[in-house]
Each structure stands twice: as C-alpha cells, then as structure tokens.
Structure 1
Amino acid sequence: MTLPITPVILSGGAGTRLWPMSRAERPKQLMALTAAQTMLQLTALRTGDAARFARPVVVASRAHADMVEQQLEQVGIRPALLILEPAGRDTAPAIALAALAAADPETPLLVMPSDHVIDDLPAFHAAIARALPYVADRWLVTFGIAADAPETGYGYIAVGDALGDGVHRVARFVEKPDRAGAEAMLAAGGHAWNGGIFLLRADAYLDALAAHAPDILAAARTAMARGERAGDRIYPNGEAFMASPARSIDYAVMEQADRIAVVPVAMGWSDVGCWDALHAMTPHDGDGNAVGGDVLAIDTRNCLLRSDGPTIAAIGVSDLIVVASGNHVLVLPRGRSQDVKRIVAALNATRS
C-alpha cells in the first residue's frame, strides 16, 4: 500500500523583510497579504485532498502556537502534529523534528515553507506526482522554480541529466548570484530558482543527516526524546534543540548528498520576500498603484501604499513604497525593499 504524503509546513520564520507589518509577534505567514486567507492557511489548503495527503505536521514557534491552531481551524484543517520549536535553528533541524515524528519511516514528507504563493496548483500537484517514484527509491527531491527574471535574491539550481519524465539530477546548487551571474544563468538556460520546497522520505532524510550533519540529527533526536507532548502538540526539549547548529537543509544535506533530484516546474510561485514582490503580484489601479487599507492617492503612480491603521495620503509621488502599521511607517523607493532588513537590524541594535 502506498503511504499518503505528509505535508510538513515550516512556520518558524520571522519575515523581517516585510516590516513593519510582519513582526516577531505576527510574522508574514500569519497575515493575509495576497488573498482573504493568511499565507499559512493558503499553504495548508494546497494539500487538502485527503485521498493524496495526510493531515499536516506544522513546525512553528512556541509563541505562535495558538494563532497557528486557530488559523488552521478556520479553514477546517486540524494538524496531525504541531511541533513547537523553543527557538529557530533554520530548516535542517526543523525538518529533522518532523521526520523523527513520522509514524512510518518510509513516509514521504512534502516540506513547504508557510509563506509562499503558488497560483497554479495543478502544476504543483503534477510535479509532486512525477517526483514520488524517485522519493520511494530514496532520492531527495527539490522543486526548481522556472526562472523568468535575473533575480539576485534567490539561490539557483543547475539542472543536470534527465532521470525520467520531468525529473533530473541536480548538477549543482548556486548561491545567490550578483546581477551579472543571474543574467548569465538566465541566458544559458538549464537553471531554476531554488524555492525551498522538498519531497523526501523521512528515513532517507534522517540517513542523509547521519552522513552529512550528525550533530543536527543528534540534537534533534535528544530534543524529541526529552521533549513533552500535550495532545497534538510536541514541545522538543529546549536545551537539547539549541545545541543543534543553525543550518539550512540546503547546506546540511542537499549540497552534500549524492541522490539529489530536481523537478523543474512553472507554478506561479513567489516567496513574497519583499515589498517589491508584493507590489508586482497585487492588482494595480489605473496608475499602477497597489493599495491596501485606508489609502488616498492623488496624482500618484507606480507606488505600493498599504496600511492596517492610519490613513496614508499621497499626492504627486511615484515609485515609492509606503507602509504604515501600528506606530511604524516605512518609506523607501521601489527597488530597494531588500534593504528593509537593514532597518530592522538598526532598530534592534538601538533597543539592545
């Protein structure tokens, strides 16, 4: 009997590049940025077909436990497990916790960040179906996002030899490039964005950790063994978990192991990683403005204007990002929103 796929939703990120709306107490995955539902809700609903997918396992911050449960309940989803990290240690340890919790070691895990957009669900599900036979044969599979612009904010995957229909070996992973490097890869073809979505068997992932990052596996095992459980909530032991290095699955496993495959797919994906990305994907008015909340725009063009409280009134400006949330207002030129993390770092430094 084929085991159903267990979605593993990673919801521990802070989303600092969407400050001031996304903050530690309510990060972007718990916000409705692109639709009526929050990004966490949209992620969970992508795998709502009970014939193909088991109930999800959500790995989240302890501080967000109640919000995560409430939001999923609102869309009729009850997680199989809610694994609550004492603090974030990046994706490799988080996925290890989920793999250790799998009821069957051969369970295929579909690892998804909770704060991405996927517009073409049939394309996503078809890519999953292409990957499954290789996952059953213990390949670790990543999904390569069709690159349509020379983005410097993403890592890239060089697509290697074909293994089967739409499934390829990974030739290599490429760190976030400069502009010239991104343009060269786009022009050459054969490269996809690394979207951070994976399909892998629980035991195959744990074996890869044992071979390439045993310190992460040991910390995760101890944290789960010494942890506590209350209903569907698991609280890994904090001291043991914090002994794990903070490392992504890419560095810890995917760039080290041998049987790594990629399924290239065009599925309307975005990580909504900055305000410029949100401007690009939000419906515009006749002057190219993307507005949300209480906004008045006169003789204003190509701006993102968004507020969850005070009125934003703009006149005679263009190509700006203006975001008002609580007691904070962000103003910067379009094209500079990757620099928001510098603002967050500066604010944190003044408060420490």
Structure 2
Amino acid sequence: MAFRFNFSIDENESSEPDTHGKMDLQLCSPKHKRESTEKSKQTADTVADSSPEVGTDKQQDETPSKKKFCLKAAKEHSIPENVNKILENKVMETVSDLYYINISGAEMTCLDGADEEGIVSQSVSSHSDLIPGIYEGGLKIWECTFDLIDYFSEAEIQFTNKTVLDLGCGAGLLGIVALRGKAEKVHFQDYNSTVIDKITLPNAVANCISEGSGDNRKTSKPPLKRPKKAEYVPDVLTKCRFFSGEWSEVSQLLLSSNKPFSKYDIILTSETIYNPDYYSALHDTLAQLLDKKGRVYLASKVHYFGVGGGIYLFEKFTEERNVFRTNIVKIIDKGLQRCIMEMAFKDSS
C-alpha cells in the first residue's frame, strides 16, 4: 500500500501484500545484507586502518575483541516546528499497521543532493548495503525487525509509561510500536544522520497523525480523508528524541547532557550484532543506558555469513562480561534461522 503525503494523504490503487516477504519495499534478508558486505570488501578496505575488517575466515573463528575504529560523533536531531514539511511530497506505505516512507523515493531524494554524508551514492557505487564505519544499513528494513514486532504481541510486552530506546533504529519501526503502545518517552538512534533525517523522523511524524491513528486504524486502509493540512498529536511527537552517531558517542552525549535524562526501561535493537568488532561498544552502551531493572530485546540471525557475528557468539561474549543474564525467548526457523534474546542485569530481580 503506497500513498503520498503533500499536506494531505493520497492512496494508490495498489493493494497491500498479505505477508512481510512480499512487501513492496526494500525488505532484505540478513543473508543478503551480509553477502553484500562480502561484495563491498574492496570498498571497505579503503576505509581508515582503524575501521573493522570484514569477510575474513579467520575473523569468524575469533572471540570478539575490542578493536579501535573511527568513532562517528553524536548529534541530536531537532524536530522541525513545521512537521508538515517533513512529509511534503513523501510517498508513504503501510506494514504491520505502521506507516513508513518509501525507501526508493528517499534514496532518489538523497541522490539529488539531500544526503550530506553521501551514503546513498557510496552504497550504490559499491553495490553494497553495508560499508563499515561509513554506512551501517539503516536505509533498509531488515526482517528481524518484524520478528521482534511479532514477539511484542505474542509476549504481551507492555510499553505503557516506559522509557524506550530504539538502538540502531533505521526506519524506527520498533520505537514507533513502543510509541503507539503508550510509552512515556521513545528515543531513536542510528549511526547515520541521513537515516534519521530522511527516514526515521518522517516515519515517526507519519505515525503521529491523529486521523486514522489509534486502535481503529486498519492496516489495509490508510486514512480516506484528505485534509488540507495533516493534523498531529503534539504530545505524542514531543515524547520523541532523535540521535545519530556511534553508540559510545551517543551514550556520552546522553549522560553528559544538561537535559534531564533517565535510563531506559526497555532497549530495542534488531540486526545490530552482525559484526563482532562492535560487540564491546554495544555491550557497554547497553550497560550504561539500561535501567537497573530494565530489559533489552534483541533480534538477530543465528549467524551472519561473511562478517562472522551472530546470536550465539554475542551470547558467549555477554556471558564472559558477566554483567547481563541472557535468555533466548524465541527461535524462528523459517528460512535463515533467527532468534529473539532478552537481556537483563544479573543483579536485577
């Protein structure tokens, strides 16, 4: 289902697919994502020597170690006063009862000069969905995102009055689900500022539209009314904050900020453990930002070919750190095996 925002909501004649695998969006399997990494190895080798190496057989057998790599500075992205402008001329689609921006359209806009980081042109020229230290895949929607969304419903995860972080958010669908679940605060983080500005923010705004929102919204039918100006629920959007940058840099920004900050009750993250070189940064970020009684819900493939990461390797890494207890709460055997992991501090109840 696709329709265009231009201070109004238009609907295409096409019908929405019934399953995730047939959606008309750039939904990519983790295998494709990691195979593309192998294709981009030559490009990745041109990154500074401090950047993580990928695609070596040796690395797949190594225990993750804390390697030095270029730290991308953290930045908070402000929400424009005129939120209508964010959605102007944007083509939006729906999936799992959520709005999301059409990725192809966003990429075309970026190629026309709206991408200061140049990640889209580099991704296109290198035929890669992942360039370590430059672009970490946030312009795509990966299948583990939907595994986690399904799990929220199955396990009846409650977001009401919780503070939530969508870590490595990309499209931000996990955080948006929490937002619609009446979370008190939802923060979004992605490595790339382009992803936040061109994908995450528009998606969050689109899902804060009052017309057609709430329990009465139907996945197959976007709002039929076409207001001259979209109406928003301001108290919902003000619950959100948006950040770009490397994990440890974002953590430092949050913890040292003059703005009030309380640690997160729930941290959501999907397909962020594909590269073992990032495990230390991810683990430390979770340890620094999670409330002592909080929970992490992590979705991942069992193994990422060509990069060497995976759920069991990260589980072993976490056990060796002896900070969190982990529990694999769901295994998805369709296609490439995937898992949902729950994490909590060992000294929490």
Q: Scaled by the length of structure 1, what TM-score is found?
A: 0.25
**Which structure has the highest strand share of the two?**
1
Higher relative contact order (CA 8 A, sep 6+): 2
Q: Scaled by the length of structure 2, what TM-score is found?
A: 0.25
